[in-house]
Amino acid sequence: MKVFKSEELSHQELAQLCERNPLREKSIVDLCQEIFENVAARGDEAVREYTKTYDGVDLEDFRVDVAEFQKAVDQQPRKVIEAFETAIRNIRKFHLSQNLAEQPVEVQPGVTCWRASRPIGSVGLYVPAGTAVLPSTVLMLGVPAKLAGCPKIQLCVPPRKDGSVSPLVLAAAYLSGIRQVYKIGGAQAVAAMTLGTENVRPVDKILGPGNRFVQTAKLVATSYGVAIDMVAGPSEVLVIVDQEATPRIVAADLIAQAEHGADSQVVLVTDSYPLIEAVNAELEDQLGSLPRRELARASIEQSFAMLVGSMDEAVEFSNRYAPEHLILGMVEARKWVGKVRCAGSVFVGEWSPEVAGDYASGTNHTLPTSRLARNSSGVSLDSFVNKVTFQELTREGLEDLAPALETLAEVESLEGHARAVRYRLSREEEVRE
């Protein structure tokens, strides 16, 4: 990996290193718009054509039937089912902890306000099928959707050339409680879930990772009033370590990210130059025997190590970079937790590999990338609910609040607003007269 020394970089060069390209390639936006228009006009027929073009398979029926599900679950070895079950249990447990009931507040006598969660009626999950099969993503989306109580959950996954979909994905869906799976991929899946077709039900919100086409299609979906989790770019990790770190483990953590794809971003930040050298040697060594070495190598070649003067500076750089995953691998890592401001998910200390969160510790792995961790959060139970505010006033509550309400209505020149208060309070007096 390239090595930069922070002290030799200008403010602007540092900022540049933190930039990742957001999605606004006009050609892709235009293509997605066209796909939406076609799916709107011709429904399943258009989806069928795109599936033929992009996935190379002519599918009559996109739906996965019960027998296919059953077969997918049955063919999994016991240890796979157990691994899924461990992950599901931990994901449920952690996401359940996000379900805190807010108590009603009597903000002033007779004025009570509260907020309550309501599951989103219909959610569409997307799981890609690119260079890796990702059943773990099914769990990360399906488990919190079920936990939130979303009544309708459907999943789209691109079909394979033979018209099937990965049994691992189906088994993960089944164990998560999902029963509606469509063999549709790419922008056409997002369009179908946004607009609805003869066979695909339109949804309220679409969540899940995917390539540039899928993510751009999600952006287009928002212009049709469908909500999305986020626009996700390539996966990222930033590792902060000091001289005490074990190069072999640091290299393994970087490679675990790099093997996702050639565009994965891996960044090493440390105050130890010898460590960078040792990690670089380890990278070479480990890459040699890695099955996905070509992807990992391509990723690492365009990644970098940053030599900083202190751990304080390391964490500050990380906050600017706003990585999807942050590994705090320095000595006494826990002490730095409070300084982390911008990151999707943070792995604290030497025994916390990112892989734990990728799969089974319970945290969600659908996280903001491309510096969006500075303004967005990962998928959580919140992603599957609307939070509705309520208020109930008593007559006395309204009376006490009335002067403020009428004054504000007056300064905003909204007489109708004032009347809605005044007419209520004058009602009983009129009756009494």
| Amino acid identity for residue 408 in this structure | L
Hey, which residues does 69 pair with through a beta bridge?
none
Distance of CA 345 to the CA centre of its chain: 11
Which residue intervals of 149-246 are DSSP H helices? 167-176, 186-195, 212-222
Among 59, 196, 248, 263, binds a second copy (CB under 8 A): 248
Tell me which stretch binds a second copy (CB under 8 A): 42-50, 58-66, 179-187, 225-233: 225-233
Using CB under 8 A as the binding rule, whether residue 30 contacts a second copy is answered as no
Tell me which stretch binds a second copy (CB under 8 A): 6-14, 44-52, 133-141, 305-313: 133-141
- Alpha-carbon distances, residue 388 vs 110, 120, 266, 322 (angstroms): 20, 11, 39, 30
Using CB under 8 A as the binding rule, whether residue 241 contacts a second copy is answered as no
324 an active-site residue?
yes
Count of residues near a second copy by CB under 8 A: 133
Rg (CA), the chain: 26
Footprint (CB under 8 A) of a second copy, residues 280-319? 286, 290-292, 296
Number of DSSP helices (H) and strands (E) in the chain, helices first: 15, 14
Footprint (CB under 8 A) of a second copy, residues 381-410? 382, 386-395, 397-398, 401, 403-405, 407-409
Q: What is the per-residue binding string for a second copy in 74-103, x denoting contact by CB under 8 A?
A: -----xx-xxx-xx-xx--xx--xx-x-xx
Specify the length of the chain in residues.
Answer: 433
Footprint (CB under 8 A) of a second copy, residues 314-343? 333-334, 337, 340-343
**Closest separation between CB of residue 358 and a second copy, Å?**
7
Residues 6+ apart with CB under 8 A from 416: none
Give kind and range of the element (H or E) at residue 348.
strand 345-348
Question: Which residue in this structure is represented by tokens 């394979």?
Answer: 160
Using CB under 8 A as the binding rule, whether residue 378 contacts a second copy is answered as yes
Distance of CA 364 to the CA centre of its chain: 8
Footprint (CB under 8 A) of a second copy, residues 137-196? 168
Using CB under 8 A as the binding rule, whether residue 38 contacts a second copy is answered as no
325 an active-site residue?
yes
Using CB under 8 A as the binding rule, whether residue 201 contacts a second copy is answered as no
**Closest separation between CB of residue 306 and a second copy, Å?**
20
Question: How far apart are alpha carbons 208 and 373 in whole angstroms?
Answer: 16
Q: Which of 282, 325, 354, 365 is catalytic?
A: 325
> Which residues have a catalytic role annotated?
324-325
